[in-house]
C-alpha cells in the first residue's frame, strides 16, 4: 500500500507546553506510535517542527520550518499551541531571527497559517486566548481563529480547547483528517470544536448528577454530594471528561472531588472563575441545562 | 571574535535565546535571554486568592505541581492553616509533587537532553531484535527524519551498543513518563494541571484501591530508575568524561527544601523536609536559608533602574525595553547580592553538606560506586547524575509515604477567606527553588510574586555585572565548531531550563496599562 506522510508544523506561542505534555500522555496510539508508526493505515505523521521534541536547535530548526512552508504549501497541518500576543506588533513572543531581528510568533503564525492545509488550535490559549488572555490581557493575546479572521486567511480551523486538552481529542481530530478528510461544519459546533468530543455538557454525564437532582450538595471539599455549591462549572462546560476520564482512565476532575473549572469554554478563566465559588452569573455563562 | 546566536534553544521548556562570543573557539561571554512574556502577576491581581493555585500551575505544563505546591503553601499561610493541614493531605501533596518530579526528570534526560549525546544515524547498522530499536531504524530508513534530524553534527561518542540501548530507552521512557502522570492523576484528578491540591488540603480521599494502584506504579517506575535511568546516565558519563570536568557555575547552591515530613516547625525555612533548606558553597560550607536576603536586580534587564535590588515581596516591574545595556526580560535574583545555582545538584549539595541521612547516604553510596568524588558533580554531566539521584531519592520516599496514608481520616480543613493577609510558599520544582508571595486585600489578590528556578539559573548579569549561573557555566568552555555548538547546548540543557517559568514579571510599557503597575 502507498504510504502517505502528513507533515505537521507545531508552533508554540504564549503557552506553558502543557498541551504538548498532555498529547505525550496518549495511550492508544501512544506517543511512540504517533512519532514513528502509521497513525491510521497508510499514513504517518511527520512532525517537522516541534520545539520541545525536535533535535534541531537554533537556525537549523527555523530552516526546517521555512523549508516545509515552501515545499509542502497547502499540504501541512499547522498545530498552534499557546496564544498569539498581538500587542505592540506581537513583541511579547518571538521565535528565531531574521536579519538579526527577532521574529514574532504572530508573524510566524500568519505566514504558516496561510500556507497550511488546516489549522488545529490546540488548548485554551490557542483557541480562545486562555490564561495569557485573561483580564487584563497584558500582551493582547488572541486565539488562532481571531487572528485568522482578522488576517482574512482562508484555511479551515478546528478548535481543540481544554487546559490542557485530552490527548484523545487531538488524536481523534488528526485521525479524522487522515481517514475522512477535513471536518465539515456539521462535525463542529459554533465554536469550531469537534462535536464528537465537545457535544455534551459535563453535567449531562456526571456521575454526581443524581445528587444534583436530589438536591444533595457537598458543603466542603472532600464531602459526598454534587459540587455545584462549591463552584463546579460542569453545568455549562462542554466536554466528555465524565465518560472518557483522564491519564489512561485512572481519574478525572470531578472524580477526584474537585469542581470542574470549565476549561474547555471561552469563558475560562475570567468568567468560570472564581473556581471555588458557586455560579452567580448564569447570564454570562450561556446556561444550557437540560 | 565571533558571535554565535542560538535562537530558539529547542528541547527545553519555553522560549530561550543564547548568544555566545567566541575568541579562538573559547567562550568569552555568554548572554541568555527569555523571549516570551505573559504577565501572570498582572493577571492574578484582583482575583479570588483560592484561584492562585490553579492559575499559577499554568505558568508551566512541565512542572505545574511545583507552582501548585508553592501556591497552596502561601495560601495555607495566609489563611492561618499551616498547623491544621491533615497528615493525609500533607502526604498526598508530597505524592503529587513527587510524581511530577519523576515525570519532569525522566522527560528531561531522555527526551530533552539525550539527543545531544546519542547518535541515531548509527542505528542503520542494527541487526538485533529489540522491537523499539527496529522501529526507529525502519522509521529512519524509510526516508523519515523529523523530529530527529537535522541536528548539530559533532562528537557523538557512544559505541553501537550503548547508542542502541539509549535509543531503545528513549522510546521506553516515553511510556514510563506517561505512567508517572497516571500515577499523579490517581490523587491529582488529571495531569498536566492537577485539581487535587487546594488551599486547606487535598480533594481526593485515600482509599485502599488508590493506595495500591499508586504503589504498584511507583514501584514499576523505581525499577526503571534503578535499572535503566541510572545506568544510562553512567554510560554517557563514561564516554563524555570531559563533561564531568566542565560546565560548573562555581556559585553557591540554594535550596528551599521540599516534601514536608511534618507540619512542624511552623517556620517553612526550618520545616522538617526530605530535602532540607539552606545554601552550600562549592566547598560544601553551609548557611541557613533567610528569604529576606533575596533581592532582584535589574541593571542589565529591561526594567527601570529605580526598582533594583528589592525583595520579591516588595518587587516592582517597570519595563524599560530600550534601556542601554539591557538584554533580557529576566531579572537577576541574588542572595546577599550573589548569584546562586538551583536544581537537583543544589538540593543534593545542601542535603549532603547537612549530612541529612537519606541524601548523604544515597550520594555517598552512588559516588563510591561510580568512583567519583563530590566535586565531579559540579559539572554538566554532574547535573544529569544529580537529577538521576534526585529521581531515585524521591521515588523511594514515595513508596514509603503512600503506605502512611490512612483511609477514612481527614484530607481537608475548611476555612474563612480573610479580608487582609499575606503568605509565602517555598518549595522545590524539579529544576530548582520556587517561591510564591501573596498579599490579599479586600478579600482579593492585591499582589502576587513568583521567583522561580530558571530566573536564578538563566539570570542575566546583575548590578555588579556578575553573570548568571548559565552564563558563568558557559564562560571559558571550548567550542570546537561554531556552526555546531554542541558544547554550548549540552551545558545549557544540563540546567533543565524552564523559560515559561522564568519570565512572568512583565508589565508591558504603555499608557493603557500603567494603572496595573504593581507597587
CATH 3.40.50.700 domain span(s) along chain A: 4-197
Calpha distance B49→B46 (Å, rounded): 8
Reported as a pLDDT band with limits 50, 70 and 90, residue B34 is low
Yes or no: domain A200-290 corresponds to CATH 2.60.40.10 = no
Contact B51, A277 (CB under 8 A): no
Mean pLDDT of B444-469: 94
Report the residue of A15, A25, A72 to disrupt the B interface, i.e. the one with the largest count of B CBs within 10 Å.
A25
Using DSSP, how many helices (H) and how many strands (E) does chain A show?
Answer: 11, 10
In terms of DSSP bridges, do strands A118-122 and A77-81 run parallel, antiparallel, or are they unpaired? parallel
If you measure CA to CA, which chain B residue comes closest to A223? Answer: B203
- The domain segmentation of chain B, as residue ranges, is 2-516
The C-alpha of A117 sits at a distance from chain B's nearest C-alpha, in angstroms, of 19
**Quick one: pLDDT at residue B517?**
24
Cell numbers for B190, please give them.
488529571
**Ramachandran class of B326: left when φ > 0, alpha when ψ lies in -120 to 50, beta otherwise:** beta
Question: What pLDDT, on the 0 to 100 scale, is given for residue A289?
Answer: 39
- Please answer whether residues A39 and A29 qualify as being in contact, where contact means their C-beta atoms are separated by less than 8 angstroms: yes
**In chain B, what are the helix, strand and coil shares in percent, each to the nearest 5?**
45, 15, 40
Residue B505 has pLDDT above 60, yes or no: no
Say if CB A91 and CB A84 are below 8 A apart: no
pLDDT digit string, tens, across residues A208-263: 999 999 999 999 999 999 999 999 999 999 999 999 999 999 999 999 999 999 99
Q: Do B190 and A256 touch (CB under 8 A)?
A: yes
Cell of A285: 455563562
- Express each pLDDT in B400-426 by its tens digit: 999 999 999 999 999 999 999 999 999
Quick one: CA torsion of A90, A96, A102, A106, rounded to 10 degrees? -20
Give the span between the Cα atoms of B495 and B502, in whole angstroms.
13
CA–CA distance, B61 with A137 (Å, rounded to integer): 20
C-alpha B350/C-alpha B308 separation (Å) is: 28
Selecting from B5, B11, B412 the residue whose C-beta is nearest the C-beta of A221 gives: B412
Fold (topology level) of A4-197? Rossmann fold (3.40.50)
Q: Please, which residues bridge with residue B18 across strands? A: B6, B32
CB of A276 within 8 A of CB of A232? no
Q: How far apart are CA A19 and CA A164, in angstroms?
A: 5
Note the CATH number of domain B2-516: 1.10.645.10
Segment (H or E) for A5: strand A4-12
Domain ranges in chain A with CATH number 4.10.480.10: 200-290
Estimate to the nearest angstrom the gap between the alpha carbon of B186 and the chain centroid. Answer: 23
Given a contact cutoff of 8 angstroms between Cβ atoms, the answer to whether B2 and B488 are in contact is: no
Contact criterion met (CB below 8 Å) for B158 and B119: yes
Residue B79: pLDDT above 90? yes
Per-residue pLDDT at B490 exceeds 60: yes
Q: Are A77 and A117 in contact (CB under 8 A)?
A: yes
Residue B513 has pLDDT above 50, yes or no: no
Would you say residue A78 has pLDDT above 50? yes
Place of cell 538485533: B128
The per-residue b/e assignment along B372-388, b for 16 or more CB within 10 angstroms, e otherwise, is: bebebbbbbbbbbbbbb
How far does chain A reach from its first CA to its final CA, in angstroms? Answer: 48
pLDDT digits over B184-210, tens only? 999 999 999 999 999 999 999 999 999
Residues in chain B: 519
List residues bridging with A201 in a β-sheet. A238
What mean pLDDT comes out for the span B424-442?
96
What angle in degrees, to the nearest 10, is found between the helix axes of B344-353 and B380-401? 70
Q: Is the pLDDT of residue B97 over 50?
A: yes
CB atoms B11 and A27 under 8 Å: no
| CB of B121 less than 8 A from some CB of A | no
Residue A203: exposure state from Cβ atoms within 10 A (0-12, 13-18, ≥19): buried
* Residue B387 pLDDT class (50, 70, 90 cuts): very high
Q: Taking CA atoms, what residue in A is nearest to B6? A: A58
Amino acid at each position: 500500500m502507498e504510504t502517505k506522510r502528513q507533515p505537521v508544523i507545531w508552533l508554540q506561542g504564549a503557552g506553558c507546553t502543557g498541551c504538548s505534555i498532555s498529547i505525550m500522555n496518549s495511550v492508544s496510539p501512544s506517543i511512540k506510535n504517533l512519532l514513528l508508526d502509521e497513525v491510521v493505515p497508510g499514513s504517518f505523521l511527520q512532525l517537522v517542527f516541534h520545539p520541545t521534541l525536535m533535535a534541531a536547535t537554533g537556525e537549523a530548526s527555523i530552516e526546517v520550518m521555512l523549508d516545509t512552508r515552501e515545499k509542502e504549501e497547502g499540504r501541512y497541518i499547522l498545530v498552534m499551541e499557546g496564544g498569539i500576543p498581538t500587542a505592540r506588533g506581537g513583541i511579547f513572543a518571538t521565535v528565531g531571527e531574521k536579519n538579526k531581528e527577532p521574529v514574532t510568533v504572530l508573524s510566524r503564525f500568519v505566514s504558516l497559517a496561510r500556507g497550511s492545509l488546516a489549522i488545529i488550535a490546540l488548548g485554551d490559549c490557542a483557541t480562545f486566548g486562555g490564561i495569557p488572555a485573561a483580564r487584563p490581557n497584558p500582551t493582547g493575546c488572541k486565539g488562532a481563529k481571531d487572528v485568522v479572521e482578522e488576517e482574512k486567511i482562508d484555511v479551515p480551523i478546528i478548535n481543540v480547547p481544554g487546559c490542557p486538552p485530552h490527548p484523545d481529542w487531538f488524536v481523534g481530530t488528526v485521525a479524522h483528517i487522515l481517514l475522512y478528510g477535513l471536518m465539515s461544519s456539521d462535525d463542529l459546533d459554533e465554536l469550531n470544536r469537534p462535536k464528537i468530543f465537545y457535544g455534551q455538557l459535563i453535567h449531562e454525564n456526571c456521575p454526581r448528577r443524581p445528587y444534583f437532582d436530589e438536591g444533595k450538595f457537598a458543603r466542603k471539599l472532600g464531602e459526598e454530594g454534587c459540587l455545584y455549591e462549591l463552584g463546579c462549572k460542569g453545568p455549562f462546560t462542554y466536554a466528555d471528561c465524565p465518560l472518557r476520564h483522564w491519564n489512561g482512565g485512572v481519574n478525572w476532575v470531578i472524580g477526584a472531588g474537585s469542581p470542574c473549572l470549565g476549561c474547555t469554554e471561552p469563558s475560562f478563566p475570567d468568567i468560570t472563575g472564581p473556581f471555588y465559588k458557586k455560579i452567580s452569573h448564569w447570564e454570562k455563562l450561556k446556561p444550557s441545562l437540560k | 571574535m565571533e558571535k554565535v546566536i542560538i535562537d530558539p534553544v529547542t528541547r527545553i521548556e519555553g522560549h530561550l535565546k543564547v548568544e555566545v562570543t567566541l575568541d579562538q573557539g573559547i567562550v568569552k561571554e555568554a548572554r541568555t535571554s527569555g523571549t516570551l512574556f505573559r504577565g501572570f502577576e498582572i493577571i492574578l491581581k484582583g482575583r479570588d486568592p483560592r484561584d492562585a493555585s490553579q492559575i499559577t500551575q499554568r505558568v508551566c505544563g512541565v512542572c505545574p505541581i511545583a507552582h501548585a505546591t508553592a501556591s497552596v503553601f502561601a495560601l495555607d499561610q495566609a489563611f492561618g492553616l499551616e498547623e491544621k493541614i491533615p497528615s493525609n493531605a500533607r502526604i498526598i501533596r508530597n505524592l503529587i509533587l513527587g510524581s511530577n518530579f519523576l515525570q519532569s526528570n525522566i522527560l528531561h534526560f531522555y527526551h530533552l537532553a539525550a539527543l545531544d549525546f546519542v547518535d541515531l544515524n548509527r542505528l542503520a547498522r542494527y541487526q538485533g531484535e529489540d522491537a523499539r530499536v527496529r522501529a526507529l531504524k525502519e522509521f529512519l530508513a524509510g526516508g523519515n527524519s523529523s523530529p530527529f534530524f537535522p541536528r548539530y553534527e559533532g562528537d557523538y561518542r557512544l559505541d553501537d551498543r550503548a547508542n542502541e540501548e539509549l535509543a531503545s530507552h528513549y522510546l521506553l521512557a516515553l511510556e514510563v513518563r506517561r505512567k508517572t502522570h497516571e500515577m499523579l492523576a490517581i490523587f491529582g484528578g488529571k495531569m498536566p494541571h492537577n485539581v487535587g491540591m487546594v488551599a486547606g488540603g487535598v480533594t481526593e480521599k485515600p482509599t485502599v484501591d488508590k493506595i495500591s494502584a499508586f504503589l504498584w506504579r511507583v514501584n514499576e517506575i523505581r525499577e526503571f530508575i534503578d535499572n535503566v535511568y541510572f545506568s544510562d546516565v553512567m554510560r554517557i558519563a563514561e564516554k563524555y568524561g570531559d563533561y564531568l570536568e566542565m560546565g560548573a557555575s562555581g556559585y553557591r547552591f540554594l535550596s528551599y527544601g521540599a516534601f514536608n515530613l511534618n507540619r512542624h516547625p511552623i517556620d517553612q525555612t526550618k520545616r522538617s523536609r526530605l530535602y532540607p533548606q539552606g545554601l552550600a558553597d562549592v566547598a560544601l560550607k553551609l548557611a541557613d536559608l533567610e528569604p529576606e536576603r533575596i533581592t532582584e536586580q535589574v541593571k542589565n534587564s529591561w526594567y527601570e533602574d529605580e526598582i533594583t535590588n528589592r525583595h520579591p515581596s516588595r518587587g516592582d516591574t517597570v519595563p524599560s525595553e530600550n534601556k542601554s545595556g539591557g538584554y533580557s526580560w529576566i531579572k537577576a535574583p541574588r542572595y546577599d547580592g550573589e548569584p546562586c545555582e538551583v536544581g537537583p545538584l543544589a538540593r543534593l549539595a545542601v542535603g549532603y553538606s547537612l549530612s541529612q541521612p537519606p541524601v548523604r547516604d544515597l550520594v555517598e553510596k552512588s559516588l563510591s560506586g561510580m568512583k567519583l568524588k563530590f566535586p565531579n558533580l559540579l559539572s554538566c554531566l554532574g547535573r544529569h547524575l544529580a537529577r538521576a539521584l534526585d529521581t531515585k531519592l524521591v521515588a523511594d520516599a514515595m513508596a514509603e509515604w503512600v503506605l502512611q496514608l490512612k483511609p477514612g481520616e481527614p484530607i481537608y480543613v475548611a476555612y474563612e477567606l480573610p479580608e487582609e493577609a499575606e503568605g509565602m510558599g517555598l518549595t522545590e520544582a524539579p529544576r530548582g527553588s520556587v517561591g510564591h508571595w501573596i498579599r490579599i486585600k479586600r478579600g482579593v489578590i492585591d499582589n502576587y510574586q513568583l521567583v522561580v528556578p530558571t530566573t536564578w539559573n538563566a539570570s542575566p548579569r546583575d548590578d555588579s555585572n556578575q553573570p548568571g549561573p548559565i552564563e558563568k557555566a558557559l564562560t571559558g568552555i571550548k567550542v570546537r565548531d561554531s556552526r555546531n555548538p554542541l558544547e554550548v547546548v549540552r551545558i545549557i540543557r544540563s540546567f533543565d531550563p524552564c523559560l515559561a517559568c522564568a519570565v512572568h514579571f512583565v508589565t508591558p510599557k504603555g499608557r493603557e496599562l500603567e494603572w496595573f503597575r504593581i507597587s
